[in-house]
Every structure is written in C-alpha cells, then in structure tokens.
Structure 1
Amino acid sequence: MGVSRRNVILAGAGLTAAAAIPAVQHVAWGSKSFVRDDYTPDFPDAPAGEESWMNWSGAQSATPKQFQSPASEAELSELVRTSAGRIRPRGSGHSFSGLVPSEGMILDVGQLSGLKSYDDTTGRATFGAGTVLFQAASQLNDVGRAFPNLPDIVDQTLAGSFSTATHGTGQSLTALHDYIHAFKLVTADGSVREVTRESDPDLFAAGKVSLGALGVVSEYTVQTIPAFNLKRIVTAEPIEIVLDEALVRADSHRNFEFYYLPGTGIAASIVNDLHEGEITGLHPSNDDDEMLEGLKQLRDQFGWWPWLRKRIAQSALPSGEVENVSDASLQLLATTRPIKFNEMEYHIPRENGLEAVRQIIAKMDRRKDAFFPMEVRFTAPDDAWLSPFNGGPRMSIAIHAAVDEPYDYFFSEFEPIFREHGGRPHWGKHHSQTREDLEVLYPDFSNFSELRRSLDPTGKFLNPHLADLFGETFRA
C-alpha cells in the first residue's frame, strides 16, 4: 500500500523535530529486542533413522519415524492398511495449529495432484487431493472454468484447505469446502470409500471439513463455474469510516475485506467486483513487503510514543485510492505470502462482528509492540458439520505477529474477546478450544466425534492436538 522506509524516515524526521522527545524512553525503546526467546528458524534435530518436519511458521514441529509420499491411491491405501503406528496427513504446512505433528508417520499426498478429469456438461472437475490451489485454479482457467472464490494464500493443497474450512471473502460466497461434490477417502483399514451427498450424507457432511481425522482423502470432485474477471480497488482511509460502512460494503460488493494497520488509525479497504471488457493486468510490485517493513520500522523507532507513531504513520501512508486494476479472478483473489507470521483467526456471527472488531482494534492499538496488519473478511453459511460457517453468516477476524516475535498474547488478550462474541476458531490457526468448548459451538460436534470413532476405533489418525479436540486419551 505504499508506506516505505524512506517515507517513515522523512515523516518521522519532520515530526520529531517539532516534538519534545523524552530521550530516556526513546533510547530504552530503541534498544528493545522483539524476538521471542524460543524462536528458531531451524528444523528440529531428528534422532537417527527418523525424519524432521516443521510447519511454515515454525510453530509446529515433529520428528516422525516415517515420512511417506505415496505415488498412487493404491500405494496410499497399502501404507495406511499396513501401518501399525499413528498417521497424520500434511498439506503444504500452512496450518498454525497442531493438526499435523506426529511421531509415527507423516503422509504427504503431494504426488496425488493435478486435474484428472473435467465434465463440460456438469462443470465438475476431479483433482488429486494434493493439488495446490493455484495449480488447480490455473488448470481450471485453461478449460475456461474457475472456483467461485479463493483464499488469500494459494500455496495450500486442496486437502489441507478443504479440511480446515479455508475461506476467502464475500458476503454471498461460501468457504472452499462447499464446492465439493464428491471425494475419495482412505479409511483406517486401508479401504477406499467414494463419498457423495447421495451415497453417504453423514460422511459427506463430516468429510468436507474433516481435520484429517476421518482418514486420508486421495481425490476431490468439485463444482466449478465459468471463468470470470474482476476489478480490484484498494483504498486507504480512516478505520472509523471503514467500520461505519463495513456491512453496507460487504452487501454491495462481490468481495469485500479490510486490513487495519495497528497504531495508525488507517485501514486498507479492498473490493472486487465482476468486470467485463479490457483488463489492465497486475503491475509487478513489492508494495506488501515494503509496507510491512515500513510498519515494522515505525514500530521499532516510534512505538514507545503512540501519539507520535500515529502522526508519523498518517503522514507517511497514502490516502484515498491506491490501486485500481482488473484481471482474471485467480490473479486478483489469490496471493503468496513470502513474509512469514503466526496467526489466530476467529469467525464471529455477523451480528456480533463489528463490536468484536472494535474491541480487538482498541486492544491492539494499546499494544505498543504490534505492527502486523489484522484482517477482516465475510463468509456465507454452509452445512458441513465442522464448518465454522455452519448456522449463519460470519465475520472473520485474523490477527498476526511476525514469525520471530511473541504471540502468546493472542491467547491471553484476544481469544477471550473472540469467545465472548460467539467466535469459532479457524481450525488451521492458533486457538485453545477443547471438546467441551466445541460441543457448545457446533451442534454436530458429537455426531462428528462418533463417526470418527466408528471409522478409526484405534485412533490411527489421532495426534495430541486432535485427541484434545475430541476428548480422547492419547498414548503415543
């Protein structure tokens, strides 16, 4: 969005020259380290004969006895059938919660990828479950088709994104798992079950958002729509204006979301609407990376004095429309995230959402060390048993911290606000919910637990995190 280090320096120089700077506080803040004590970018050391695994942010790690990547569904089935130990499937490692870690076997279905078939009559496409979202969207585009929506991170696999209820934004648009028409599931005994709403309605409702707890999905058949273009407009404006108009904008635009920049009073509002005619294409840019570096420098140098930090930010940040582009939907809805972070996201009933957002912003602004933008999105309801959007439209609020900085305050300061407003956690992001909490939040949670136990009576697909979620005893 165009705040650079140079802009911060220039704006800061002008304002600090005119302000009385308490030198002691300034120097003390300038010598502060923001790196958390337990941070390491390195994979864990694996004992002899074992493997080493770590997720994208480094918050989760494991040293499994086996790391397997089957080349076919038959090989996957045989691995599951003959394994005597625990098994956890992994996607692309973008989950922050403890869904993957296993000291038994970690399965990578990345070789089960690509477009297998497309039915021009129904618009349904079948993909290997390990297909990365951007690959799937690109292959659909080649045949003139598209997903109705995409999340902002497209390095995720279909299996990982569907199983954790990954979503984009759009008040009338459902999360990605709602596109599923059918899937193949390898269960604990190695059998392969083909599941549709008609063939097995309960397993279909449970399996669309499965957390990898029912078995390992080998392929998906998804409903697609004709390919389409979008126009994206990004506007920098005061957060109060965005909050006052948020619900109207969500109802008025195909895709609407906004980012709040902590400590600045400024938000970036993003709308996407259907576009006909010539497209501008995207302009190559590193603005997002540059913006984060600028916001971090603003925190590092002026976080000790919130008033000054806010004034400098408002002098350095752009105002009004900062981007107006048009392109294919997969180009505008989806991105990669080169700068790593940790994240907590909760999905709040729409009627409670704005009050929760205001409380989160107020608390975030009081944290002098926060600089990473928070994100607010909108999603329509669906009927998957463990979908956070089951039961009504939701506003999703996501908070972030740089990958090497503390994020324990997510749990102590912000999670209570999310919970107070009826929030359900994103399954792939940091949260501390247990079976007792989830049974209150999800009407079908007990049904899912019973189905999971019937499919996997020995807990082959459990790990400590899932055992906590389902209230099961875990013995490694």
Structure 2
Amino acid sequence: MGTWRNWAGNQRADGVTVVHPAGTGEIAAAVRSAADAGRRVTALGSGHSFTGIGRPEDVALALDRHAALVGVDDAGLVTVQAGMPLHRLNAELAARGWALTNLGDVDRQTVAGAISTGTHGTGARFGGLATQVRALELVTADGTVLRCAPDENPDVLSAARVGLGALGVLSTVTLQAVPAFALRAEEGTAALPDLLADFAGFTSSTDHVEFYWFPHTDRCRTLRNTRVPLTELAPRGRARAFWDDEVLANAGLAAVVAAGRRVPALVPTLARFSAGALGARTYTDVAHRVFVSRRRVRFRETEYALPREAAPAVLEELRRVVDAGPHRVPFPVEVRVAAADDVPLSTAYGRDTAYVAVHVPARSEPGGYSAAFEAIALAAGGRPHWGKEHGLDAAALEQRYPRFGEFAALRARLDPAGVFTNAHLARVLGPAGQPAGQA
C-alpha cells in the first residue's frame, strides 16, 4: 500500500496498491489480475499534471522498472518503454546523434504521461509530442497487448496518441527523431501592445517563439529559438547559466511569490521589478538544453488552447480584468503557439493554435483569477489542456472536439467495465462504457 501526490501538491491519494511491473508481460498480468478482481488501474507518470487525470484510486502501476530505451533505427525511429522520463530520453538520443524535433519546457514527465496529456512546446510550424508518435503498444483492460501502427490497429494509434490513460496502459512508444541540432536562443523584452499588434508576425518570426507577460505591467519576456547546425554551438558558461537560471529565474521568482503572499499589495511593484530583472542574452546550445527550463518554484496552472487568431483579444481582455480587478498575480502569463494536427483529442486538433497559461502559487487555490481567465478563453473557443486545471465536463468538451464521440466509442469498446477510469476521467469523458452524448 502507498500514498501518491503530484508535483504541485494539489492532488493526493492514500491507501493505493502500488505495483512495479517490469516488461510488457508483467504489465499485462497486473492489469488482468486487477480486472479479474473488479479493481481499477491507473498508470503512474511523474505527477506533473495539475488535474486528477493521473490520480490513482485503487491499483497504481509505477513504471519505474519499465523505462528503458528499446532501440533507435537508421531512420531515427526510437522505441522506448513508456515509463522512461523525457530527460533520460533526450540524453540517450543526444549520445546517438538524434533529437526530438520539439519539446515542452519541462522534461521530468514520462514518455507515456507526456503524450497521453497532450504535452506541447512552441513553434508555429511544429506540433506537440503526440505528433511525433509513429507506433505504440497498448495493454487493454483484459490484458491484451495491442500493437498499434499505421498498418495495424490504426484507429487505436490515432486516438491513443493523446489517450488520457483512458484506453489502456502504454507499454512502448515509437517516436520519430531527427538528426541532432542546436538552437540559437535570443531572449529580450518587448511591450505587450506591440506583440499583440503583430502577433502572427512575431510568433512565426523564427522556428520556436514564445513570450511571458508580467501582469500589472505592459512588459514581456520574449524567447526566440532558431534551429542551427551543431557546429554553431556557443553555450553559456556555467556561472552565467547558474546566475540566469537559478538565481534570477528561480530564486528571484520564489522571493517575489513569498513576498506577494505576505503583502499582496506589493505584487504590482514586484512584477515591474521581475519584468526588468533579466536582460537580453543570446547563446546557442544543443536543442533540449534550450527547450527545457528548470522549474523549482511550484505552482498550479490553467492553460487554454485558442484559435491562433483569437489570442490577442484574449490577452487584451485578461489584461483589462487584471488591471480592473482585485487579483494580485505574481507569476507571468505564458504564451506559445503550435501547428494544427489530426490527433482526435489534441488541443490543436484541426486548427493552428495559440496557448495561454496562467499560474498561481502551489499552496493557494486558483480562485477568481483563473476562473476569469477560463471564462475569457471559453468565449473565444478555447480548449483546456488535459493536464491542467479547468472546470469543463464531458458534455462541454464534446462540443469543442469534433471527434470526441469517436474517442468515447473506442474507449467503450476497449474498456467497457471502466478498469482505467477514475473520478476525473468520469467527469471529462463521461462514465466508462458509455458512448458520448449519453453522459
């Protein structure tokens, strides 16, 4: 028996049975045993979701003993056991001259958890991690191991790329890697009105673009990363990297959050200080070292995927709400973009997308600020990130995903008894074994 909590500390579980299978056969046996006993199963990731999507309620499969690299072929198809964390996969690929073509800014997630919740990075021409999946093995509710590829169970492959853990336990995943590359990082500041006035131009100005807006100010931190050959490496020195990442970005933010908690009235002044703390810098490093940032200050997050053209108006309205209301916001608002994809439950399904994310300290409730942002995003056609906090249920989500019913029907076929459900999945997908529209 064991306890579980997520990274932010807002999701917890006690008294769960924790099993550590090694190999697909042991995963299948554990699922079959639980199903025969009428128990429910949750595959554990690294706990980086803020919702209850990965919260175990009965039997928890910890995949720490199922986390090896299976192989990389000459075409860059890399197959990994699904419990491998991304930071280890990045290192394994780099040692072999390969890389993932795009990453989010956190690399502590397992491969299974990252693709199952729709993890994404930024880049107007690039999709999320799920778009890099080429094949997978899925252990279904009766212990069957399904091999899913374009020529074998293609409908399951299509849906399980963002499967929310509701279709089965991912055993292995095959991703399309690319030859290793570097990123030239150009970081600076800009005014929010200027970025919104040319949002499309700025976010497509190079390969990977994002910015952070500091509420209570009009200042933004801009990040523009351009793909270049490894021969152009010019990384920061250790001392500069430590100062930038640990002292200014993490220790500085921690101090701002702590001071704002004690004296909320100070937050606008602290925001102006934070906005100007990091100066301009340019450096070039291997891709995963630029994509990924260390997140030592814990928070809770709400993120919405918007039609890309709607993002400027959403940010303008959010700024109006912050300026007019009682909210004191110590964390910057993160803004990223992604290309449209064809994954049924991807937040970028069928449309070029902008992502806007708001944060509150981990030990606080999202409250009125997150609720106000959610209302603005929903009015603009937003879809909530599956791993981040939101208030939508299955009936509301079905209206936002054209293929929601298709996914629900597949779930009902693969898991009719709800072996893989929990309270959160029942809310966002409906009761197990029940097609969409009948929740």
Query: Unpaired runs of 5+ in structure 1?
Result: 1-49
Instruction: Check whether the contact 2:340–2:352 (CA below 8 A) recurs between aligned residues.
Output: yes
The answer as to whether partners of 2:82 and 2:171 remain within 8 angstroms in 1 is yes
Q: 1:375, 1:398 within 8 Å by CA — same for their partners in 2?
A: yes
- Alpha carbons of 1:451 and 1:269: their partners in 2 closer, same or farther (altered >3 Å)? same
Kindly report which structure 2 residues correspond to 1:60-75, keeping only aligned pairs within 5 A, or say none. Answer: 60-75=11-26
**Is 1:439 aligned with 2:390?**
no
Does the Cα contact within 8 Å between 1:411 and 1:432 map onto a contact in 2? no
1:200-279 → structure 2 map (5 Å cutoff):
200-276=153-229, 277-279=231-233
Partners in 2 of 1:376 and 1:232 — Cα distance? 17
| Residue 304 of structure 1: how far off its partner (Å) | 2.8
Question: What residue in structure 1 maps to residue 437 of structure 2?
Answer: none
User: 1:295 pairs with 256, 263, 267, which one?
Assistant: 256
User: C-alpha displacement at 1:353, in angstroms?
Assistant: 1.3
User: Per-residue CA shift, 1:278-300, capped at 9, x if unaligned?
Assistant: 42213223121133135336646
- Is residue 349 of structure 1 aligned with residue 313 of structure 2? no
Match of 1:33 in 2: none
Q: CA deviation at 1:250?
A: 1.2
Given the alignment of the two structures, is residue 331 of structure 1 paired with residue 331 of structure 2, yes or no? no
Q: Is the 8 A contact 2:415 2:432 kept in 1?
A: no
Structure 1 partner of 2:125: 172
Counterpart of 1:114, as a letter, is A
Q: CA deviation at 1:325?
A: 1.0
TM-score normalised per structure 2: 0.91
Q: The residue matched to 2:213 in structure 1 has which SS?
A: strand
Q: 3-state DSSP class of the match of 2:174?
A: strand
Q: Alignment partner for residue 52 of structure 2, among 98, 122, 127?
A: 98
Give 1:409 deviation, angstroms: 2.3
Counterpart residue number, 1:127: 80
Equivalent position SS for 2:421: coil
Aligned to 1:183, which of 133, 136, 147? Answer: 136
Structure 1 SS opposite 2:322:
helix
- What does residue 460 of structure 1 align with? 419
Tell me if 1:284 matches 2:237.
no
Q: Which moved more, 1:320-329 or 1:290-299?
A: 290-299
- Of 66-75 and 169-178, more deviation after overlay is shown by 66-75
SS at match of 2:204: helix
Residues of 2 paired with 1:284 and 1:155: CA distance?
19
- The whole-number CA distance in structure 2 between the counterparts of 1:294 and 1:53 is 28
Mapped partners of 1:296, 1:62: distance in 2: 27
Q: How far, CA to CA, are the matches of 1:301 and 1:265 in structure 2?
A: 24
Match of 1:374 among 313, 333, 341: 333
Determine what percentage of the aligned residue pairs are the same residue.
33
Amino acid in the other structure paired with 1:101: R
Contact between 2:235 and 2:283, CA under 8 Å: does it hold in 1? yes
1:393-438 per-position Cα deviation (integer Å, ceiling 9, x unaligned):
1100000011112212255322111110000010000011111111
Per the alignment, in what secondary structure is the counterpart of residue 419 of structure 2? coil
Structure 1 residue 303: deviation in Å?
4.7
State which of 149, 160, 181 in structure 2 corresponds to 1:196: 149
Gaps of 5+ in 2: 434-439
Say if 1:130 and 1:157, in contact at 8 Å, map to a contact too.
yes
Larger mean Cα displacement after TM superposition, 103-112 or 340-349: 103-112
Give the CA RMSD over aligned residues: 2.0
Does the CA contact (< 8 Å) of 1:242 and 1:269 recur in 2?
Answer: no
Aligned length: 421
Q: Which one of 398, 403, 407 corresponds to residue 357 of structure 2?
A: 398
Contact 2:186–2:283 (Cα < 8 Å) also in 1: yes
8 A contact 2:182–2:232 mirrored in 1: no
Does the C-alpha gap of structure 1 residues 347 and 146 become closer, same or farther in structure 2, counting only changes over 3 Å?
A: same
Pick the structure with greater CA Rg. Answer: 1
Cα drift, residue 243 of structure 1: 2.1
State the one-letter code of the partner of 1:224: A
**SS where residue 347 of structure 2 aligns?**
coil
Aligned to 1:359: 317
What is the alpha-carbon distance in structure 1 between the residues aligned to residue 170 and residue 28 of structure 2?
10
TM-score w.r.t. length of structure 1:
0.84
User: How far has the Cα of 1:64 moved from its partner?
Assistant: 3.9
Q: Secondary structure at the match of 2:151?
A: coil
Which residue in the other structure is 2:436 paired with?
none
1:284 alignment partner, SS class: helix
Deviations 1:239-294 (A, max 9, x none): 22222233212111100000111213211011000234442213223121133135
Aligned to 1:57: 8
